Amino acid sequence: MIQLVFIAFALLSVVSALVVLLTNNVLYAAFSLLVTFLGMAGLYVIVGADFLGVAQILVYIGGILVLLIFGVMLTNQKGTKSQGRNDILTENTNRVIGLVVAAGMFGLLYFVFSKGHFAEVQASLFTDTPLKATTQTIGLQLMTDFVLPFEVSGVLLMAALLGAAYLSTKQK
C-alpha cells in the first residue's frame, strides 16, 4: 500500500518535472512546477516529515511560485506570442552549457546525499510504530543546538529585504 502511494507521488513529481523541462510554454512549465512541488510535499509526508511537507507547500507553492508567475506576467511579452492562443513561448538555447550545469548539479547533489544518514522508512503504514512529532523535534533542535544558523538565517532574510527595497527604488 505505502509503496503504491510512494510510487504514485514519485511518478507525479518526476513526470511533471520533465514537463517543466520539455515544454516551450512558460506558464505550462510554471503549473507543472506546482504539481512537482505537490508531489514532493506528498513524498515528505510519506516518510514522516509532515512539517517539512507543509513548509514546502507554504513557502514554495504559496510564495515562490506566485513570485514566478508574477515575474512571467511582468515581463514584456511582445514578439514572443504565438498566433491566436496568446501563449508565452521560449526557445531552447545553450543546450551544451545546460547539460554541463545539470551534470555538475547532479554530482553535487549525489555527493551531498551519499553523505547523509537516512533513517529507515516505516515498513508498513498500518503498524503502530512510534514516530516523534516532527514539529516539536525541529523546534527544540532549532532553538538549542542550531541557534547560530537560525540567527544567521534571520540576518540573511534581513539582507534580502534590504536588497529588494534598495534595488526596486533605485531604478526610478
Partner 1 sequence: MEITSTLFAAKAIYIGLIFAITLGVAAYSTYGERIVAAWMQDRVGPDRAGPFGIFQPLADAVKMFMKEDFIPANSSKWLFIAWPCLSMLTALLTSAVVPFGDKLDLGGGIEMDLQGIDVNIGILWVFGIVSLGVYGILVGGWASNNKYSLLGAIRAASQNISYELAMGLSIIAILMMTGSLSTKVIVETQQNGAGFLSWNIWSQPIGFVIFIVCAFAECNRTPFDLPECETELIGGYHTEYSSMKLGFYLFSEYINMFVSGAVMATLYFGGYDYPFNEVVEAQFGQNIAALVGVGALMGKALFFVFVFMWVRWTLPRFRYDQLMNLGWTGLIPISMFNVVWTGLSILIPTTFNLPAWASIVVSWSGIGVLLIGLIIYHGATSKKKTVALAH
Partner 2 sequence: MNYQPSDYLPIIVQLGAALAFIVLTMVATHWLGPKRHSSKKDDVFECGIESIGDARTPISVKYFLVAILFVLFDVEIVFMYPWAVNFKELAWDGFVEMVVFMSFLLLGFIYVIKKGVLKWEK
Which residues contribute to the site for partner 2 (CB under 8 A)?
2, 45-48, 50-51, 55, 58-59, 62-64, 66-67, 70-71, 73-77, 81, 86, 88, 122, 125-126, 128-131, 133, 135-136, 138-140, 142-144, 147, 150-151, 153-155, 157-162, 164-166, 168-169
- The entry of partner 2, partner 1, none near residue 71 (CB within 5 to 8 angstroms by kind) is partner 2
First to last CA, the chain: 58
Give phi and psi for 85, each to the nearest 5: -85, -15
Binding of partner 1 by 111 (CB under 8 A): no
- Backbone conformation region of residue 47, classed left if phi is above 0, alpha if psi is from -120 to 50, else beta: alpha
How many residues of this chain bind partner 1 (CB under 8 A)? 26
> 76-92: string of b/e by CB count within 10 Å (b at 16+)?
eeeeeeeeeeeebeeee
Q: How far is the CB of 97 from partner 1 (least distance, A)?
A: 31
Binding of partner 1 by 91 (CB under 8 A): no
